[in-house]
Chains A and B, each alone.
Chain A
Amino acid sequence: MGYPHQPHQRETTVLSRYFGVAEARTLAGWKQRGGYQALEKALAMAPADIVNVVKESGLRGRGGAGFPTGMKWSFMKPGDGKPHYLCCNADESEPGTFKDRELMRWTPHALVEGCAIAAYAIGAETAYIYIRGEFTEPLHWMNEAVKEAYAAGIIGKNAMGTGKRIDVHVHKGAGAYICGEETALMNSLEGRRGNPRIKPPFPAVSGVFGMPTTINNVETLIAAIPILMNGADWYKKMSLSNPKSTGTKLYSVCGNIERPGTYEVVMGFPFRDFLYDVCGGPLAGRKFKAVIPGGVSVPIQTMEEAEATLMDYEGFVAQGSMLGSGGVILIDDAQSMVAVIARIARFFAHESCAQCTQCREGTAWTTKILERIRDGQGTTEDLDTLLDIAEQMTGTTICVLSDSCATPVVSGIKKFGREFEALIQSRSFHPVIAAVA
């Protein structure tokens, strides 16, 4: 079990400070810990000033893409006469990622507060928190928190007595990874199949219900609270070197590692220390072989790359991968990389919404070929075929699910090609030769 666990001394617990503290889940407990002070402060500010503080803080989207949050909020034009909406993306489904789940089950009021602040900042009266249907526990706590916040007049038609209307509603998904894609989420929220939409128009112009919409990840919205309380400078200072990546980041750590769980460190933290010290290193008698540092959609890192990485948006890119969602998956020397990658491909084949041909066909064929190689039935041409399919799956579809399937395949073949070749060379049965004989 991950919680309650004592934070490691090298962690900087800003967002995860109350993980494992059951009282922080209730309104009374949250207020005792300084809850809703940031919202009170925000409601006394001009929306543009809130946007500026967030801009100044350098906060970037924590869902995977890393887009500057303040800039995203500034795309919402005040006084355009249209209703604005805030969507909170709590459809956390990227394999390896479970930080938003912890945020919602331990600090649900933080998300209500973050949503209310953001809604006010972008001129929205309604915020929808779209939570994946499998998250029964986060759904329970979020529903409770919203109910409590309404009853206390913190949200509703007269939020905190300011006369401003801020509604926050929890919307339960029904099982579809793709609904974590922002436009698919909006379609799903509207009562449609969760097919991603073609962009442009971008959500800030035409989002949910065709109206200007901002969509943010759970962690991003909650991060706005300490930023408003402590100021942009305080947040910017939580970075070990790179001014483009500021603040703290939650990482979900899983796979073959001694202490899996959710950890929070400042941007620029050395990945090597993180893996071996903070998270306890590999299981007894094992060695790490590879890391997927940001959910299965990002390129796989060799240990050499991982150990040279500084944990921030640019740091992961410099070492052949991406920060992504912060879902760190450790793969040790007992695992077959081919089997791991084949299972990733199967995931994407299952989750493709099937509206684009390259994705629908590409994910299915990639899975089929990888499983053939895994089972000792692969041929040398299969690797070329996989790379060829991957190329056709990249940059050719409405959303990036297709690219996300191609990424681990390409990086896996490039960095762990020997494992593929060894399996192909050892195959016991060749269908053509067997047929001729």
Chain B
Amino acid sequence: MIIEKIELENFMCYAGKSSMEFTEGINVIIGDNGYGKSKLYDAFYWVMYDQIFVPEKKEFQNTRAVKSKIISDKAKADAKDGKISTLVSITFHNLEKDNVYILERKYNVNIKDGKIVETNDSEFTIMKKDLSYLNAKMVNDEEEKRRIVSSILPPHIKDYLWFQGEQVESIIDFNKHDSLTKAINVLSSITRYDELKEIASASAKSGNNEYDREVKRLSKDIGKSEQLETEKERLKVFIQELLVDEKEAKDNLSRAEERCEALLSKISDATKVSEFQQKKKYILEQLNELNENLNEEQTSFHRKMFRNKWVLKGTESLHAEFSNRYLAFENIKLKKVAEIRAKEAAEDAVAKKLQTRLPLDVPEPIYVQRMLDEQKCLVCDREAMKNSDAWNKIKELIDRPDKKVKTANDEAISKQNFTDDFKRLYQNGLALTHRIEEIDTDIKDTLKKINNINTKIREANNEMKKVEDDIQKVLSDTSQTVESAENIIAEYSIQNKYVKDFMDKLNKLTQQLEYNKNNLKSVKEQLKDLVTGEIPRWLIEKRNVLNDFETVAGTTRERVFNNLIAQLEKETNSLYEAMTSGNKSARGSIKLRRLPNGNYMPEITDNNGVPLLGSNTSNLILVKLSAIMAIISAKSNDGVVSFYTLITDAPTSVFGEDYTIGFCKTISKVYRQSIIMSKEFYKNQSLRTELMTNSEIKIGKVFMITPSILESERDNRNNLSTKIEALN
């Protein structure tokens, strides 16, 4: 669709009838500040959307609000009683199908007794020609009208095609989730993936609920189940709250990071600061690792008191004392046993001896007793006086068995036998005393380790401080005025502190989340443990499938989104490089860096991907402009936007003269038609000449507008009109 012409009647500063015709290529409207460029932009906007931009309020307002201010003051002043109106009409031509649409908006008022009587609304009409040479027919159906307006400039991309220079900063905010998603969505429908995520989440939730209900039902202890369920719910709610806090912390962190980098960008001594930044990053990584190590050591330190038996430090004497007593105890026992054994042996010896003389019970005891009583040996019939050797020898025969019985009794030496107990205590102590020897060194080593880590942490912190001081110094050295230097430093410090604070907060939240998630897991396990019987296979499978689905939906969305970001980055880069190619001071390529909250930040980097700080504001605006244009151009296969016209008011004023030609070259290549309002060409004659003669610029029509009264003399606007002069 090409815009062939615009016709204005009594619109703002364009008193009377004016018109401009446009062709393919880059059409430029040149005029100084206040000459009417923005009002022309307003004219385009007004026809399509019934709104104009009110600079005092910095916002778009409807005709209803603005009313007769739209009408040229001159026309109002000259008018007699009766009707006056303002009218703007744009002719669109679809070159492929050769059909034409004429969109016209009109606003009427009545003048009665010199006073203006407003109507409320403007009138909007569309005339259509199926072929350009046919007569135009009015489109009456409201639905059809809306469709035509939509197809000329689809709502979801209009912001990226018709915009004012001062809006460039805010059209895409990469660090605002909605703004970023909206832009990405133009490239390809990411919202589909978001919807699928919703479906997956909802399904997973219901699947998990069903599973949990079954677990509860099969529980062998309903009371305990209930308790655990309540705990589970509490944890879930708490985790949700933590997630909300986490998101907020991430957002805050991202914003602070962004701010920091933006501040650093205001410096021209870029490389030095960049180096320091790298160093700082490295130190931070080290610090993190060290802190983790320290934590580990400290937590296990306490356990070592018992696990490594440190509590036994210096208690060897206890074992020594015990050993003595134990050994003494054992000795005594052994002695006793030895005594008994000796006694037994002696008795055995005696018994043996007796055995060689006569077998047991030979002669029988009654006879032996008789011999003793008669004090006479009945065998050899000789005297055996009592207590004589002979008499004693006879007595031995009877004593034999008694002695044996007695020793049997002596065998039960003691009532208890605690040898095993004491032995165990002894051996246990022995094993531990070997460990005791090592304790001192063990403790020393551990303390030394902890000390080392602490020292390293201190050193790293010092280094960090030094680097930050260096950064500050560079900041102050290279700022323009003392004031701005102080401001930058002050704000940088603040933002830097925010970054640290938010990182700490995020850290804490992450830990809390992990702790609570673990608790939740443990509660769920306990619930599961209470289950008797079997949960049906299909239910287990269902739950698993739905959870997998939820995961996949999330990761796929991320993957698709990141691919689109990559696509956008690539296209933005090619536009940026094209626009800056003629400029020696601008170098580098654009990277979209991912922020903690999942949004992105555009950066200009060198060949190694290191951020090029010291890029001045113009460059950054160019980056944003490139991105805005990339969104539309990335969609078309050949990178050329054929169906929509770029209309932008004063884009060049945001990035200055140096880039103007580069900008125009690129625009004319990327857009089949564009309409640019610019002041750069007004003062700078050579620039104007270059614009119109440079072979690389596909130039369309060029107009110069001049007001009848200069702005400085405009107390009375009643004579204000604008002259339009075609320069080619």
Q: Do A and B come from one complex?
A: no
